[in-house]
Amino acid sequence: MLEGHVDKLEVELFKNDEKGILYKLSVTEFRGNSYLSVREWYLDFEGVYAPTKNGFTVPYTLDTTLALFEALVDLLSKAEVLETLLEKRNERTT
């Protein structure tokens, strides 16, 4: 699935340099299978972020990606912040 893929396959979700933590969403490949991961990273003594065991990984398929997207939209709608987030996203893209 990732063969020949040249795009960046990870994005920062949240970073706190003061606490030395970072959360990344990434797509990786292992033994020929693709996975979607959210992982916590820590700032090591050399000032480089390194992954921890904290996080989760699911198969990277259309079904799992859609399920995560729908769950996030559902949560945000129930928290009554979806409209605000969509407005913020539009501000960032213009």
Question: Which are the contacts of 43, defined by CB distance < 8 A and separation ≥ 6?
Answer: 17, 20, 21, 22, 49
pLDDT in tens, 25-47: 999 888 888 899 999 999 999 99
Domain coordinates in residue numbering, the chain: 1-60, 61-94
Q: Are 22 and 28 in contact (CB under 8 A)?
A: no
- 23: β partners: 14, 40
pLDDT for residue 1:
47
Considering the domain 1-60, what is its CATH architecture? Roll (2.30)
Q: For position 82, what pLDDT does the model report?
A: 73
d(CA 22, CA 42) in angstroms, rounded, equals: 6
Strands 49-59 and 33-43: antiparallel
Show the low-confidence residues of the chain (pLDDT under 50).
Answer: 1
